[in-house]
Amino acid sequence: MKANVTYWLDETAARFPDKTAYADEKKEITFGKLRTQARRIGGELALRGLFKKPVAIFLEKGVDVLLSFMGTAYSGNFYSPIDVDMPGSRVDKILEVLQPEVVITTASLKEVFSQYAYEGEFLLLEEILTEAETEQDSAEEGKAVQAEKGCAGGEAREEALEAARRKGVDTDLLYVLFTSGSTGVPKGVTINHRAVIDYIDWVTETFEITEKDSFGNQAPFYFDNSILDIYSALKTGATVYIVPKNLFAQPVLLLEYLKEKKINTIFWVPSALIVVAKLKAFRNVDLTDILKRVLFCGEVMPNKQLNVWRKFLPDVQYANLYGPTEITDACTYYIVDREFSDEEALPIGFPMPNTDILVLNEKDELVQGDEAGELCVRGTSLSMGYYNNPEKTREAFVQNPLNQAVPELIYRTGDIVKYNERGEILYLSRKDFQIKHMGHRIELGEIETAVSSLEEISQNCCLYDEKHQKIVLFIEENLDKAYINEKISHLVPEYMLPNKVIVVDKMPINANGKIDRVKLKELI
């Protein structure tokens, strides 16, 4: 039984000490060095007397962030990444909620961090890594005992790390990731080791991930999609290449990067896949013998763009994963196993093993037939709640209404779904996006799916103008409302046709790679 994800690193470093674990544009690190340097960081945290405490990571996206994650996990503490480009007001709000005991950063970024309301301790990465490199060099010269214990503080660090491991249990927190809050205060989603271990066991078994695989990471490390890349590699010995962010605006160069690095597995948000399909990059770069798996999660993947991928790369395994941050990245999945027309919705599929999905109607009863309801989840994957926010935790994590015998929490996702005739779950819309228009209950996501089927449309987003009671459609193409409504009139009833169309030069994308609905709302 593993109570901490770092057991994976111990085992993988023993199997593949010289194999590249993580690589960015400037640096790569082997599993052997990752373990040595992470334990050096963890030992420093443990020697400071920290256990089960929040550690903020303030670094540029790259290998050093992942190294800091592992060091924090070794020490029995939990990490929370803060992006260096995040707005200052948001950072201050996060710090107010998190109240970290220490911030891992560099000397130069420490100066940047001084603008925020933080008066705690710092751990400067370059100082720790210089000492760790010295110890690693000693080990490579056959002086392993000296490296571990002979240097100043080495023995004390090892003892502190072992003490932390003995005290740790699998329900201890591994990380806190901050999502947007409806009140303007970010919510810190807490995830423990057991949830990540359960999830990654499923990922690696289902998709048969081994040390021969390589991931092309797209997701920011403060976004839960990154968990699949990071920890699948840690468990199996696969390699993660951190794809340069600028390449996602240059599809041909992006595909050339995948080919050069021999990346065979990607787990991206649909927006990134849509751009590649839209600009027909496959005509310039052949990935037939390279790409093996295309996984996606985070928002709806239109079949129109997925069909482009499937046309050019028919032998790739495609899978739609679904789940909010509060459920350790995903709780349902659908491995694409049949053809879909452009106007059809792609299922989110079936519950993952050890996960139970409850689709509840407004009476908190299980839905019947094709009745729509709110998707709720129970199981190991659930977050332990929102950090330092008991009120929001009580709203989202509630007693299972179907079980009054013992305490049993479920998470209300706020997503509206239904079952199709195959027993697959279909995502319809956010509960927040369910509107009452002309006396009808309407899921805005259903309109978006219809519009996505049009050949001319790349991306679209539907919002509701409550003041004027109008359905507003945002698109990038210069098409008028009459044309669009005529084209989708056979897919949705008349009362669901957009009342207004707004053309934008480019669909705004938020930091997680999803369509930024907040910015679009400002244009209404």
Per DSSP bridges, beta strands 20-23 and 187-192 are unpaired
Q: 22 is written with which tokens?
A: 């993580």
Residue with tokens 């005509």, as numbered in its chain: 283
Same domain, 355 and 261: yes
Residue 175 lies in a domain: no
Residue 209: what residue type?
A: I
Residue 463: what residue type?
A: L
Same domain, 394 and 459: no
Question: What percentage of the chain exceeds 90 in pLDDT?
Answer: 83
Of the spans 110-124, 267-281, 420-434, 507-521, which averages the highest pLDDT?
110-124
Same domain, 313 and 346: yes
Instruction: Using the predicted structure, report yes or no on whether residue 477 has a pLDDT greater than 90.
Output: yes
Residue 393 lies in a domain: yes
- The CATH code of the domain that includes 389 is 3.40.50.12780
How many CB atoms are located within 10 Å of the residue 84 CB? Answer: 14
pLDDT-derived band at 195, boundaries 50, 70, 90: very high
Give the pLDDT mean for 25-37.
Answer: 97
Same domain, 15 and 163: yes
Same domain, 421 and 445: no
Q: Which of 385, 409, 431 is the last residue of a domain?
A: 431
Dist CA 82 CA 74 (whole Å): 20
pLDDT-derived band at 150, boundaries 50, 70, 90: very low
Residue 174 lies in a domain: no
What confidence score (pLDDT) does residue 137 get?
64
Same domain, 446 and 420: no
Q: Which domain holds residue 314?
A: 243-431
Dist CA 419 CA 412 (whole Å): 17
Same domain, 328 and 364: yes
Residue 86 lies in a domain: yes
Same domain, 421 and 274: yes
CA-based nearest residue to 488, from 440, 444, 451: 451
> Which helix or strand (DSSP H or E) is residue 104 part of?
strand 102-105
pLDDT tens digits for range 329-378: 999 999 999 999 999 999 999 999 999 999 999 999 999 999 999 999 99
CA-based nearest residue to 82, from 70, 67, 100: 100
Per DSSP bridges, beta strands 214-217 and 239-242 are parallel
Instruction: Using the predicted structure, report yes or no on whether residue 167 has a pLDDT greater than 80.
Output: yes
Same domain, 404 and 443: no
What confidence score (pLDDT) does residue 25 get?
96
Which of 51-55, 277-281, 314-318 is the least confident region?
277-281
Instruction: Using the predicted structure, report yes or no on whether residue 447 has a pLDDT greater than 80.
Output: yes
pLDDT tens digits for range 94-112: 999 999 999 999 999 999 9
- The neighbouring-strand residues paired with 443 are 434
Same domain, 342 and 454: no
Instruction: Using the predicted structure, report yes or no on whether residue 184 has a pLDDT greater than 80.
Output: no
Q: 380 is written with which tokens?
A: 């190991």
Tell me, yes or no, if the pTM score tops 0.85. yes
CA-based nearest residue to 524, from 450, 471, 458, 446: 471
Q: 412 is written with which tokens?
A: 């209300």
Mean pLDDT of the chain: 93
pLDDT tens digits for range 64-88: 999 999 999 999 999 999 999 888 8
Structural contact between residues 418 and 370, judged by C-beta atoms closer than 8 angstroms: yes
- The CATH code of the domain that includes 472 is 3.30.300.30
Instruction: Using the predicted structure, report yes or no on whether residue 470 has a pLDDT greater than 60.
Output: yes
Backbone angles phi, psi at 9, to 5 degrees: -65, -40
Same domain, 471 and 418: no
Which of 383-387, 508-512, 518-522 is the least confident region?
508-512
DSSP state of 181: -
Which of 172-181, 195-204, 206-215 is the least confident region?
172-181
Same domain, 338 and 253: yes
Dist CA 401 CA 35 (whole Å): 45
Structural contact between residues 297 and 267, judged by C-beta atoms closer than 8 angstroms: yes
Residue 448: what residue type?
A: E
Dist CA 341 CA 394 (whole Å): 41
218: exposed, middle or buried (Cβ count in 10 Å: 0-12, 13-18, 19+): buried
Residue 219 lies in a domain: no
Residue 335 lies in a domain: yes
Q: 165 is written with which tokens?
A: 């491991």
Dist CA 108 CA 460 (whole Å): 41
Residue 359 lies in a domain: yes
Q: How many domains does the chain have?
A: 3
Residue 211 lies in a domain: no
Q: Which of 118, 148, 169 is the last residue of a domain?
A: 169
Dist CA 285 CA 299 (whole Å): 26
1: exposed, middle or buried (Cβ count in 10 Å: 0-12, 13-18, 19+): exposed
What confidence score (pLDDT) does residue 203 get?
98
What confidence score (pLDDT) does residue 149 get?
44
> Which helix or strand (DSSP H or E) is residue 255 part of?
helix 251-261
Q: Which of 431, 452, 469 is the last residue of a domain?
A: 431
Which of 76-90, 202-216, 379-393 is the least confident region?
76-90
